[in-house]
Amino acid sequence: MPFATPEPEPYRIVLGVAGGVAAYKSAELTRRLRARGYEVHPVLTREAQRFIGSATLAALAGRPAHTELFDDPTTPIPHTRLGQGADCVVVAPATAHLIARYALGLADDLLTATLLATRAPVVLCPAMHTEMWENPAVGENLATLRRRGVLVLGPDEGPLAGGDEGPGRLVEPEAIAAFVARVLEGYRGALSGRRVLVSAGGTREALDPVRVLTNRSSGRQGVALAEAAARLGAAVTLVTAGAHEVAPDVARRVAVVRVESAAEMRDALARAFDDADALVMAAAVSDFTLEARPQKIKRGDGAPTLVLRDAPDVLAGLAAVRRPGQVLVGFAAETTDVEANAARKLRAKGVDLLVVNDVTAPGAGFDHETNEVVILSRDAPPERVPLTSKAAVAEVILARVAALLDRGAR
């Protein structure tokens, strides 16, 4: 008798449901996940059960719904078993409270214990009122979780419970199911499978073997961009003239090329550019260079006259040879007529996005931990990013890059 081909095991999804009105949509989500052939293991928090019955989810999932950390008759160790066996954990809706507990690493109920015990990808689908969604506490907790590799889907904008309207609506069940399918196929972030080239730091032009002409850029924003791109799943090359190191958790995904002068930066970027899906040009490249003297200029010889020459405009040079579909992001350091100069630069440099820094603003620009920028593009109104960490600025920029790449790829 011929051997029967073994059926592949279905993917096992743990569906976490937290206590918000949108919990009722978890019933539909269970159906949509089942329709894709996945096993669904519902886990409800105590508050979730005020909004939807565990019997409903159990019936739709075709297996028991879990609610208790202890006293589960089906297993003596539910808190680890569910997380260990999952191919993906999706929490829909994820409330502000659930997000906070997860960010803190609490494990005071079955759902948070499952989240801590899993090595599977985790997708959070936030749903809450706009005021809560926009509260920095929620934003910072989500930023922490994103940094740890958690995927965040939504929320959507639209009608909310109680007649309100705005961002905070749970993403529709079919869109969540489709996203889970992508995650199971290997998707790990908005830049997964992309190659991102980032430049950082202020270049140094040698006067002689001892002295250099440079600028105040520290390279922090560029390093934050490289780290954020890696966390979103990209393979990153960082060409840097700065001294800052990439964070250890993502260092494996970032190839670092150290350069000094504008010409070295041009050459290093040119080598990597063709393979890159996106170039984010955060480096402060010198506009001027000079003939370096082979020996140290001696004080006794009198103050020298320095003759500066134009350095290459690296970004404009690369923009001129870009492939269709490549996304280019330039930065603009301005001190006067910030927006008018920047709008001109957007066109002149041939980039898709121009991130404008008023380097004289307090807390922003060179050598600060924080930044405040405006993102200009050719087809959308300017996006203002108020004073925040350079990591958060990087996330906003890369979300725009990911959206442009997705649009180009379609």
Positions marked active-site: 215
Site string for ligand CTP, 338-377 (x = CB under 6 A): -------x---x----------------------------
Site string for ligand CTP, 307-326 (x = CB under 6 A): ----x-xxx-----------
Return the range that interacts with ligand CTP (CB under 6 A); candidates 153-161, 162-170, 182-190, 282-290.
282-290
Return the range that interacts with ligand CTP (CB under 6 A); candidates 71-79, 301-309, 328-336, 391-399.
328-336
Distances (CA, A) of 229 to 77, 94, 156, 366: 37, 24, 23, 21
Q: Which member of 198, 326, 331, 402 binds ligand CTP (CB under 6 A)?
A: 331
Query: Which CB sits closer to ligand CTP, 124 or 281?
Result: 281
Query: Which CB sits closer to ligand CTP, 172 or 334?
Result: 334
**Among the residues of 214-332, which ranges form H helices?**
220-231, 262-273, 314-319
Query: Which CB sits closer to ligand CTP, 99 or 281?
Result: 281
Sheet holding 254-258, edge to edge: 254-258, 235-240, 195-200, 278-281, 327-334, 353-358, 370-377, 383-389
E-only strand ranges, 5-121: 12-17, 39-44, 88-94
Closest CA to 329 of 402, 396, 404, 278: 278
Query: Which CB sits closer to ligand CTP, 65 or 285?
Result: 285
- List the interface residues with ligand CTP, window 252-271 (CB under 6 A): 262
Number of Cα atoms under 13 Å in the Cβ half of residue 2: 3
Nearest-approach distance from CB 264 to ligand CTP, in angstroms: 12
Q: Which member of 180, 279, 332, 373 binds ligand CTP (CB under 6 A)?
A: 332
Distance CA 33, CA 29 (A): 6
Cis-peptide, bond into residue 155, ω within 30° of zero? yes
- Asked whether position 273 contacts ligand CTP by CB under 6 A, the answer is no
- Asked whether position 330 contacts ligand CTP by CB under 6 A, the answer is yes
Distances (CA, A) of 401 to 108, 262, 351, 353, 394: 38, 25, 12, 8, 10
Query: Which CB sits closer to ligand CTP, 152 or 374?
Result: 374
What single-letter DSSP state applies at residue 275? T
What single-letter DSSP state applies at residue 202? B
- Asked whether position 283 contacts ligand CTP by CB under 6 A, the answer is yes
Interacting residues toward ligand CTP by CB under 6 A: 262, 281, 283, 285, 287, 311, 313-315, 330-333, 345, 349
